[in-house]
Structure 1
Amino acid sequence: MPKTETFDRAQILHKATEVFHKKGYNGTSMQDLVDTTGLNRSSIYNSFGCKLQLYLEVLSDYQKKANHKFRKGLTSIYNATEQIQMIFELTLIDILEDDDRKGCLIVNCKSEMANHESLIKSFVEKNQDQMLAMLSDIVNKGQMEKIFNTEKTAGQYGLYLYTSIQGLRMTGILNKNENDLRNIIDTIIKVLH
């Protein structure tokens, strides 16, 4: 009979997220996870499987929280330009509040692990596909309403916006100047008009 977990899984995921976010996957040892979560190795293995499975659960939890923020913001805004601006505003807030300059866990994961581990590659590809679909849908709506130009397809602009968000996140690790970052965002959005 499987053992019942005697800990708060969400709290353990939060603690594991912190250490993975700070050190990356490869830089995080099992001992780091033991020290950070307060669980012993056997509890980690019994509850989460291996380190990779715990990392995937951390990534999934991180993604759900980010998607919830985006969806919550998007449901109250109907104008396509304002929706794109809101996505970039939430990204900017994340950058400015990242005092430790850790960057986005998923972007970091992509650069560290996507070419080395098939499960990670699959996760980041699915995440990318979801973001591309969301951004392309917003652009398509803006093009149909004649808010955005039609020089490129909605899919092409969706990919442009996606790579711009990732580039902004990387830039924000070193450059915390809000005016610089807002100028970048303004330039990105002007391309759509």
Structure 2
Amino acid sequence: MTRTKAFNETDALERAMDLFWMKGYHGTSMQDLVDAMGISRSSMYSTFGDKHAIFLAAFQHYKRGQQHAFDFLQESSGFTAALASFFNMLLRDIVTDEEKKGCFIVNSSTEMAWQDNAVKAIIQENYDEFESHFLPFFEKAISRGEVRDTNDPRAMTRFLYVNMVGLRAVSRATDDITFLRDAAKTALNALIS
């Protein structure tokens, strides 16, 4: 007879994600995971695998939870309004991040991507998803004449991505929201000119 699991896998994975988000991969021990997930070590290994497998599952879980981040592109009425909405949403997330956790993807990228091909692949998937939304957005803006047709939509997408990642990374090291707003405003102005 098979034993029924006495825990919710999604809840346990959510707790593991929060732990990795706060402490990073290298700062998180297996005992930390057992304690945070609220499950036995044997249940953790049989359900999720080793620390690396748990980290990758938590990373994918985070990524799935971010799918709503592109909804504003359909809701905004124009190019400038949509980009302003994007930067406002980003700054709002930064300001409300009281624990200074930053972005799980950005944190994982700086800690792990250079040494872990599985993490690098997830980060590339994340960029590809970002590009799949923003490249057509910029192409449409150029075709409508909202942006000069001399602009390269792929370069604009990459510029926006790098600025988003940069803002998220720097936000962990500063309490100066004016600094971040100035950077976001400058990036917005560069994209709409």
Consecutive unaligned residues in structure 1, runs of 5 or more: none
- Give 2:25's aligned residue: 25
* Contact in 1 for aligned 2:143/2:149 (Cα 8 Å): no
Kept after mapping to 2: 8 A contact 1:5/1:47 = no
* Alpha-carbon distance in structure 1 between the residues aligned to 2:126 and 2:104: 12
Q: Is the aligned partner of 1:49 residue 2:70?
A: no
Task: Look up the SS of the partner of 2:25 in the other structure.
Answer: helix
- 1:88 equivalent in structure 2: 87
* CA distance in structure 2 between the partners assigned to 1:58 and 1:8 by the alignment: 14
Q: How far apart are 1:122 and its partner, in Å?
A: 0.9
Match of 1:136 in 2: 135
1:170 correspondence with 2:131: no
**Percent sequence identity over aligned pairs:** 30
Aligned residues: 192
Contact 2:70 2:133 in 1 (8 A): no
Distance 1:117 1:5 in 2: 31
Question: Which residue does the alignment assign to 1:185?
Answer: 184
Q: Distance in 2 between matches of 1:138 and 1:99?
A: 32
In structure 2, runs of 5+ residues without a counterpart are none
Partner of residue 35, structure 2: 35
Corresponding position of 1:75: 74
Cα distance, 1:11–1:78 mapped onto 2, change above 3 Å? same
Shift of 1:167: 0.7
Q: Does 1:117 align with 2:106?
A: no
Distance (whole Å) between structure 2 residues aligned to residue 121 and residue 107 of structure 1: 11
Residues 19, 150 of structure 1: CA spacing in aligned structure 2 closer, same or farther, 3 A cutoff?
same
Structure 1 residue matching 2:146: 3-state secondary structure: coil
The letter for the 2-side match of 1:56 is L
Q: Is the 8 A contact 1:34 1:40 kept in 2?
A: yes
What is the CA–CA distance in structure 1 between the aligned matches of 2:23 and 2:83, rounded to whole Å?
Answer: 31
TM-score by length of 2: 0.91
Which ranges of 4 or more aligned residues in structure 1 deviate by more than 6 Å? none
The C-alpha deviation readout for 1:94-149, integer Å capped at 9, x for no partner, is 21111111211100101111121111111111111111232222111111111122
